[in-house]
């Protein structure tokens, strides 16, 4: 699901961070899907050098992934056909750039200052080898003269230690191969995409997903920090010893060039967990939040993807053990835990006495809340009630019926419903009944998936506007920013204060809006 | 049952008086009467009787003067003149139901009832439909007696207002007095001030609630640089 304003906003971020040329290349990739170097040169009308450099920047910052599509049916003339590297823009990764402060915040809560610094470097430079990380750490310590000898043994150990910690909690991972060969998406997929290609932007997403799935390094090495002397720790690795052997002989040679980058997936998972827990806290109570938190923490590494629909099943005993480990859960009884699980919507135990919580439902409720608050503010309380009725009913309802159930004047209801429909918040169907007298009814419904896409697009639009307005305010008062601090007095001081307030408000609103973007796009 | 016997009686009574009607009056009266408590719109009478406009209008006046028919407000369409035979009481479809008075939704009354019910639930922490119904009858705060359906409607509206939530009793804490699994109502715990749900991310910024968002573009006539809503918002 790539929305128009999603792309515009992403391009805006890239322009801010890397300038117009890089943004041009990025925009073409976002709009057209994966392209080869030659195609990109053709579309962007930039020189080969410019495109290449832009791609280097984008790859370095994990915003573009190169890959080679394996052709199945060209077996005979494989030598003849030239290998075509394609470039795929990673929209999600581009948008994650907005969230870097949040990711750093998470690490500063979970780990120590060294880890925060290391991650800060990775976010700033996109991807780094261990050696580069050490160089950077040494630089920060002022050891620049020693750079090339690099042999500050303390520094390398400290950095390795921090990297190891970050890898253990999966906040950092090995970068995928620079240009891996990816098998073509399965035939069935291609057909489906063909048929749906008119539906906005189905294609890039499918290819993106396919490539992204294919390039993730195998679990065993994804989070491992290997060195010359170390062998892959096989404790959580499913590899056979033969594979192990094969890998260890290759890796020492590559050791130094192994690149690491932030594992956005894990950060987004953390953000999602936080949202889930806080939503349960407001909707139910602290106990339920504690229990959900304990479950998610215990099953974090067992989650196969970010958008888990249900929590990984755990038995009541395991849940209880996890709950009493937490500070807030220490005093809970097993009966209390069980009753909260019921509140959380797991009424029956599964066959093996395990509980699994419907996470998708919690996310859905949070999305509803966001949309409803827009409806209330934009269309008023009557509209709010009617919208909530339709949202809860999740089926077509007739105008009068809606008016009756929401205590809205029958003559006013159609106007409000029509407004909501015109702004794409509602779906409408006409029903003509030809009985004794012909009568026409209007039926209304909230079509959630479509509505959510629409709201998401409006959110990207709003985010873009916030960011543009911020730039405008800064530009308007540009000269103010060049005035030395002690010269800011009187009238200037007033303007300066205003600018600071404006800045704070816009920045904090953008961060809050970004939470909503994640809620609708990443969770 | 009662209704139909009284109708029979009336019909007997009426026989002589219809005798004094002119032909068009009788035709019209029969059509109106056949619609019972639904009544009929003047345009439909004209279509069904095939009488010219001026004849119908004149007949209607006379029938009204003779108190055989009455004009009623049709909630479905208040602009249309609607008539009904005098012996019928307008049906719910015509009046709009219990919450209507004289063709208008009695919003003040509804809000009052909602408010009192909400306060009751707040005091009780949790309440069941039966409990609220009983309280409405015994407490004496209401001059009228509500039906189960009416209370149900009020509760449903309060749920839609996000003032209360429908929950199933867990048997713990506030639910201790309610059997486990019974549906009950509880006030929503809102972060914000009473009555206003917590404003979402979009609802707290100008673009989120902007009626012109679809015509706003970065470099267009309506743009975040020139936008008046922003001007107001950022006016410190
Ligand atoms: S910038 Fe102004 S006009 Fe444009 S969407 Fe936002 S509030 Fe509306």
Among B96, B124, B142, identify where a domain stops.
B96
CA distances from A184 to A70, A80, A81, A89, A458 (A): 6, 19, 16, 18, 34
As a whole number of angstroms, the distance between CA B218 and CA A463 comes to 12
* Cα nearest neighbour of A508 on chain B: B201
- Contact between B68 and B85 under an 8 Å Cβ cutoff? The reply is yes
Span A307-319, mean pLDDT? 89
Same domain flag for B161 and B91: no
- Among A17-26, A272-281, B120-129, B136-145, the range scoring the smallest mean pLDDT is B136-145
Same domain flag for B91 and B112: no
Span A94-101, mean pLDDT? 96
Spatial neighbors of A506 by CB under 8 A, at least 6 apart, are A466, A469, A470, A473, B234
Same domain flag for B126 and B220: yes
As a whole number of angstroms, the distance between CA A89 and CA A66 comes to 9
As a whole number of angstroms, the distance between CA A308 and CA A127 comes to 28
CA distance A241 to chain B (A): 52
Same domain flag for B57 and B121: no
- Contact between A121 and A136 under an 8 Å Cβ cutoff? The reply is yes
Beta bridge partners of B193: none
- Among A13-22, A158-167, A172-181, B96-105, the range scoring the smallest mean pLDDT is B96-105
Same domain flag for B42 and B110: no
DSSP result, A461-481 = HHHHHHHHHHHHHHHHTHHHH
β-strands A64-70, A85-89 pairing: antiparallel
Q: Which residue has the tokens 């970004």?
A: A514
Three-class SS of residue A413?
helix
Is residue B101 in a domain? no
Residue A82 pLDDT? 62
Beta bridge partners of B165: B186
Is residue B188 in a domain? yes
Residue B90 pLDDT? 80
Same domain flag for B81 and B154: no
Taking one residue from A and the other from B, the number of pairs with CB-CB distance under 8 angstroms is 128
**Cβ of residue B222 closer than 8 Å to a chain A Cβ:** no
- Give me the residue spans of the domains in chain A: 4-90, 265-357, 378-446, 458-521
Segment (H or E) for A107 = helix A100-110
Span A232-241, mean pLDDT? 41
Topology of the domain covering A265-357: Arc Repressor Mutant, subunit A (1.10.10)
Neighbours of A460 (CB within 10 A): 24
Six-digit token pair at A454? Answer: 């629409």
Testing ligand 1's pocket by substitution, the residue of B227, B228, B234 carrying the most ligand atoms inside 8 A of its CB is: B227
pLDDT digits (tens, 9 = 90+) for A358-405: 999 999 999 999 999 999 999 999 999 999 999 999 999 999 899 988
Q: Do B202 and A459 touch (CB under 8 A)?
A: yes
Tally of structural domains, chain B: 2
Q: Each residue of A144-178: b (16+ CB within 10 Å) or e?
A: eeeeeeeebeebbebbeebbebbbebbbbbbbbee
Nearest atom within ligand 1 for CA of residue B222: 3
Tell me the pLDDT band of A285, cut-offs 50, 70 and 90: confident
Q: What is the CATH number of domain A378-446?
A: 1.10.10.10
B24 lines ligand 1 (CB under 6 A): no
Same domain flag for B92 and B117: no
Q: Whose CA is nearest to atom 7 of ligand 1?
A: B207
Is residue B52 in a domain? yes
Same domain flag for B81 and B59: yes
Asked, colleague to colleague, whether A265-357 and A378-446 share their fold, the answer is yes
Same domain flag for B121 and B222: yes
pLDDT digits (tens, 9 = 90+) for A488-523: 788 888 888 888 899 999 999 999 999 999 999 999
- Contact between A159 and A140 under an 8 Å Cβ cutoff? The reply is no
Same domain flag for B114 and B205: yes
- Indicate the angle between helix axes A413-422 and A399-406, nearest 10 degrees: 110
- Indicate if the alpha-carbon torsion angle A287, A288, A293, A296 is positive or negative: positive
Same domain flag for B128 and B173: yes
* Cα nearest neighbour of A404 on chain B: B96
β-strands B40-41, A438-445 pairing: unpaired
Six-digit token pair at B206? Answer: 């100008």
DSSP result, A428-444 = EEEEEEESSSEEEEEEE
Name the pTM for this structure: 0.80
CATH of the domain at B119: 1.10.10.10
Q: Do A377 and B191 touch (CB under 8 A)?
A: no
Residue A234 pLDDT? 39
Beta bridge partners of B168: B183
Per-residue pLDDT of chain B (236 residues; tens, 9 = 90+): 333 334 444 444 444 366 788 888 888 898 999 988 888 988 888 888 888 888 898 989 988 888 889 888 877 777 788 898 888 888 777 776 778 877 788 888 899 999 999 999 999 888 999 999 999 888 888 878 888 989 999 999 999 999 999 988 877 778 888 888 889 998 886 544 455 556 789 999 999 989 889 899 998 889 999 999 999 999 87
Name the phi and psi angles at A172, rounded to 5: -130, 150
Q: Which residue has the tokens 């480990």?
A: A325
As a whole number of angstroms, the distance between CA A499 and CA B48 comes to 73
CA distance A502 to chain B (A): 6
**Cβ of residue B216 closer than 8 Å to a chain A Cβ:** yes
Residue B96 pLDDT? 67
As a whole number of angstroms, the distance between CA A426 and CA A451 comes to 8
The parent domain of residue B33 ranges over 2-96
Name the phi and psi angles at A350, rounded to 5: -75, 175
Q: How far does CA A52 lie from the centroid of its chain?
A: 27
Is residue B230 in a domain? yes
CA distances from A231 to A305, A361, B9 (A): 28, 43, 103
Tell me the pLDDT band of A186, cut-offs 50, 70 and 90: low
Write out the E strands in A4-157.
35-36, 64-70, 85-89, 128-129
**Cβ of residue B211 closer than 8 Å to a chain A Cβ:** yes
Residue A206 pLDDT? 67
Q: Do B157 and A406 touch (CB under 8 A)?
A: yes
Interface mutation target, options B76, B102, B160, B209, chain A, most CBs of A under 10 Å: B160
Q: Which residues of A touch B225 (CB under 8 A)?
A: 468-469, 472
Torsion of CA A110, A114, A120, A123, to 10 degrees: -80
**Cβ of residue B193 closer than 8 Å to a chain A Cβ:** no
Q: Which CATH number fits domain A4-90: 3.40.50.300, 2.40.30.10, 1.10.150.120, 1.10.10.10?
A: 1.10.10.10
β-strands A181-183, A64-70 pairing: parallel
- Alpha helix (H) ranges present in A307-398? 316-325, 334-343, 359-379, 381-393
Q: Which residues of A touch B107 (CB under 8 A)?
A: 407
Interface of B with A in 84-123 (CB under 8 A): 96-97, 99, 104-105, 107, 110
Same domain flag for B50 and B157: no
- Contact between A92 and A34 under an 8 Å Cβ cutoff? The reply is no
């Amino acid at each position: 699901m790539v929305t128009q304003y999603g792309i515009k906003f992403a391009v805006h971020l890239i322009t801010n961070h890397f300038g117009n040329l890089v943004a041009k290349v990025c925009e073409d990739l976002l709009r057209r899907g994966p392209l080869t170097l030659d195609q990109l040169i053709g579309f962007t009308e930039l020189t080969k050098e410019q495109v290449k450099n832009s791609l280097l920047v984008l790859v370095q910052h994990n915003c573009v992934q190169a890959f080679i599509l394996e052709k199945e049916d060209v077996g005979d003339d494989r030598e003849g056909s030239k290998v075509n590297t394609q470039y795929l823009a990673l929209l999600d990764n581009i948008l994650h750039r907005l969230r870097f402060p949040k990711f750093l915040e998470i690490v500063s809560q979970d780990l120590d200052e060294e880890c925060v610094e290391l991650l800060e470097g990775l976010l700033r430079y996109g991807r780094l080898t261990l050696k580069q990380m050490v160089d950077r750490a040494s630089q920060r310590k002022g050891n620049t003269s020693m750079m090339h000898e690099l042999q500050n043994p303390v520094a390398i150990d400290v950095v390795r230690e921090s990297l190891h910690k970050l890898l253990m909690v999966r906040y950092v991972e090995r970068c995928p191969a620079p240009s891996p060969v990816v098998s073509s998406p399965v035939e069935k997929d291609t057909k489906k995409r063909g048929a749906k290609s008119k539906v906005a932007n189905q294609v890039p997403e499918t290819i993106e997903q396919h490539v992204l799935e294919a390039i993730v390094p195998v679990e065993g090495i994804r989070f491992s920090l290997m060195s010359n002397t170390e062998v892959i720790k096989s404790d959580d690795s499913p590899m056979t010893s033969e594979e192990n052997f094969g890998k260890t002989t290759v890796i020492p040679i590559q050791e130094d060039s192994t690149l690491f980058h932030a594992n956005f997936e894990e950060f987004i998972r953390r953000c999602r967990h936080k949202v889930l827990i806080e939503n349960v806290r407001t909707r139910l109570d602290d106990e339920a939040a504690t229990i959900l938190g304990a479950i998610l923490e215990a099953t974090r590494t067992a989650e196969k993807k970010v958008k888990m629909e249900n929590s990984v099943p755990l038995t009541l005993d395991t849940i209880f053990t996890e709950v009493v480990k937490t500070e807030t859960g220490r005093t809970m009884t097993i009966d209390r835990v069980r009753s909260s699980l019921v509140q959380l919507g797991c009424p029956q135990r599964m066959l093996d006495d395990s509980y699994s919580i419907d996470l998708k439902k919690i996310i859905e409720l949070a999305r509803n809340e966001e949309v409803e608050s827009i409806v209330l503010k934009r269309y008023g309380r009557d509209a709010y009630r009617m919208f909530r009725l339709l949202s809860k009913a999740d089926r077509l309802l007739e105008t009068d019926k809606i008016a009756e159930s929401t205590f809205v004047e029958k003559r006013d209801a159609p106007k409000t419903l029509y407004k909501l429909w015109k702004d794409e918040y509602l779906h409408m169907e006409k029903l003509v009944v030809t009985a004794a007298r012909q009568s026409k009814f209007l039926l209304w419904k909230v079509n959630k998936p479509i509505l959510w896409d629409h709201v998401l697009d409006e959110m990207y639009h709003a985010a873009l506007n916030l960011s543009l307005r911020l730039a405008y305010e800064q530009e308007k008062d540009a000269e103010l920013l060049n005035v030395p601090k002690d010269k800011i007095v009187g009238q200037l001081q007033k303007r300066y204060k205003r600018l600071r307030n404006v800045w704070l408000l816009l920045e904090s609103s953008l961060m809050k809006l970004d939470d909503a973007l994640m809620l609708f796009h990443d969770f | 049952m009662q209704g139909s016997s009284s109708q029979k009686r009336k019909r007997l009574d009426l026989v002589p008086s219809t005798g004094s009607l002119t032909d068009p009056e009788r035709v019209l009266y029969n059509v109106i009467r056949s619609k019972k408590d639904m009544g009929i719109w003047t345009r439909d009478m004209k279509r069904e009787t095939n009488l010219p406009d001026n004849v119908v209008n004149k007949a209607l006046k006379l029938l009204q003067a003779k108190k055989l028919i009455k004009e009623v407000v049709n909630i479905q369409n208040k602009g249309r003149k609607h008539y009904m035979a005098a012996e019928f009481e307008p049906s719910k479809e015509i009046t709009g139901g219990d919450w209507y008075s004289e063709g208008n939704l009695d919003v003040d009354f509804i809000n009052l009832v909602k408010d009192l019910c909400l306060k009751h639930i707040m005091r009780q922490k949790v309440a069941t439909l039966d409990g609220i119904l009983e309280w409405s009858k015994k407490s004496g705060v209401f001059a009228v007696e509500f039906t189960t359906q009416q209370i149900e409607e009020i509760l449903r509206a309060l749920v839609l207002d996000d003032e209360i939530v429908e929950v199933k009793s867990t048997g713990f804490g506030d639910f201790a007095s309610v059997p486990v699994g019974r549906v009950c109502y509880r006030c929503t715990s809102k972060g914000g001030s009473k009555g206003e749900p917590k404003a979402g991310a979009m609802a707290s910024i100008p673009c989120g609630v902007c009626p012109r968002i679809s015509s706003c573009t970065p470099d267009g006539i309506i743009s975040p640089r020139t936008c008046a809503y922003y001007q107001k918002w950022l006016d410190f």
